[in-house]
Structure 1
């Protein structure tokens, strides 16, 4: 297989990948997995244990959150850096790889921001609710 060298920007940085469409789905997927893990754990806990000490449930939700938030923040930070690389024109009028990269970076950054808020709202339920009822 002939592999072409990765083109570099004028500052010697690696040029971003042309196809970043999958990058947009990472943060919402991590939030969805976090959401399902939290509520499935709560459903099983409340069905099997019922009333009593909810501290282990809250600790498990905290562990899920400690895993999910850094991933979402990393994707958002990387997307923001990808969006701010160069001097992006805000109206994306041209269909070229640079505009696509900036658009995908901006979209992934916004979805990451929304996923952080959604993850925090999911955790807020477990902080504020004190029983399985």
Structure 2
């Protein structure tokens, strides 16, 4: 470490020793929340399309499956948001300026962006579930 600002918190481990996929220094946390939303989006529309084609015009039964998948997706996204706050030091400030060029500054940036993507993905899941709750026919 050449600079004082490059010091890491006590629980930091180098990426080579990381047993988890979403760990300090990993960028997988950036794509995890939007991926959960995308999987929920595709699954919801496939369930509705297959139900409408095979069973009938009523969406009363599959709406609860879609809502349950939405709750599971939001729970996973909340878990990812907690990881972004704990391991990366992410905070929910939209106009925060992170200008550190140290390793800790990069981790804070990853945490900040991950947390904002988690919020955006959770909102996207809610907006995917709402039409299924409002409309009762195909």
TM-score range, shorter chain: 0.7 to 0.9
Residue 80 of structure 2 contacts residue 118 of structure 2 at CA under 8 Å; is this kept in 1? Answer: yes
Q: Which residues in structure 2 correspond to 1:60-99 (within 5 Å)?
A: 60-81=65-86, 82-84=88-90, 90-99=96-105
1:19 Cα shift?
2.5
Cα separation, 2, equivalents of 1:19 and 1:78: 12
Cα separation, 1, equivalents of 2:97 and 2:134: 42
Equivalent residue for 2:43? 37
Cα separation, 1, equivalents of 2:112 and 2:136: 38
Structure 2 alignment gaps of length 5 or more: 1-6, 14-22
- Of residues 5, 9, 27 in structure 2, which corresponds to 1:21? 27
1:8 Cα shift?
7.0
Structure 1 alignment gaps of length 5 or more: 1-6
RMSD over aligned CA atoms reads: 2.1
Q: Which runs of 4+ in 1 moved over 4 A?
A: none
| TM-score, normalisation: structure 2 | 0.76
Distance 1:25 1:84, change over 3 A: closer
